[in-house]
Structure 1
Amino acid sequence: MNTIKIKVCSGCESSFNCGNISTENRCWCNDFPPIFNLSEAGDCLCPECFKEACMDKIDAYVETITPKKAVKNKAVSLPKTEMLIEDIDYYIENGNYVFKTWFHLKRGTCCGNACRHCPY
């Protein structure tokens, strides 16, 4: 299945690898939340520009969330990703992981621990 291609980022014009090596070893972009339609994503972005675009889109969505809207938010119904991504799901503060609103929205419920970024 080796379909790795070298592409040029439409954002910063740097070169990067894109594609699946096998069904088990998929492209790096599959680790990110599936929040873009192909038509709106435009041409491929490098990992750094793609992460920035995800952060921007997620931040804009999170700003629309109220506790009432959080219960039926779109993030909870997205396909689950394997890993957490720094600056999207969490950030590190004084050596501690701080989960962001997006992480809590994906979980779908409040855990009751009075989390700093709990949308519920």
Structure 2
Amino acid sequence: MNGVKTKICSSCEAYFKCGDISTENKCWYNDFPPIFSLSEGSDCLCPNCFKEACEDKIDAYLETMTAQKAINNKAQFLPKTNLLIEGIDYYLENGNYVFKAWFHLKRGKCCNNNCRHCPYRG
């Protein structure tokens, strides 16, 4: 099964490869949170532009978040993954990982460690 195709990014016009190489080796697109539907044009973005689009959509979602809304947020019901994406789940500060609110929302509850970006604290 080789479903890899060369596409052109609708945002930056760069060429990129997209598609599943095999059942076990999925497209890079599957590494990102499933927060887009194909009707939103997410199928035609290169990895860099798609990451930026994910960050923008997550940031917009987080702007609506309150401590009360965080308790039943949608992110906690997304498929679980061990993959962390810089800029979406965390950023680096002086060589340390700083977990962003999205990471905490995916966990589904506060860990009570007074995290800097905890969305569960009011």
SS at match of 2:85: coil
Report the CA distance between 1:43 and its aligned residue: 4.4
Aligned counterparts of 2:52 and 2:42: Cα–Cα separation in 1: 14
SS at match of 2:91: strand
Count of residue pairs the alignment pairs up: 120
Aligned counterparts of 1:43 and 1:84: Cα–Cα separation in 2: 21
Q: 1:98 to 1:44 in 2, by over 3 A?
A: same
Aligned counterparts of 1:43 and 1:21: Cα–Cα separation in 2: 16
Aligned counterparts of 1:43 and 1:106: Cα–Cα separation in 2: 24
Aligned counterparts of 1:41 and 1:30: Cα–Cα separation in 2: 16
| 1:25-104 map, 5 Å | 25-104=25-104
Which has the higher mean CA deviation after the structures are superposed, 76-85 or 15-24?
Answer: 76-85
Unaligned runs of 5+ residues in structure 1 are none
CA contact (8 A) 2:36 2:42 kept: no
Unaligned runs of 5+ residues in structure 2 are none
Report the CA distance between 1:79 and its aligned residue: 1.4
Identity of aligned residues (%): 73
Q: 1:57 to 1:22 in 2, by over 3 A?
A: same
Q: Deviations over 1:41-69 (max 9, x none)?
A: 35410000000000000000001000000
Q: Following superposition, which runs of at least 4 residues in structure 1 exceed 4 angstroms of deviation?
A: none
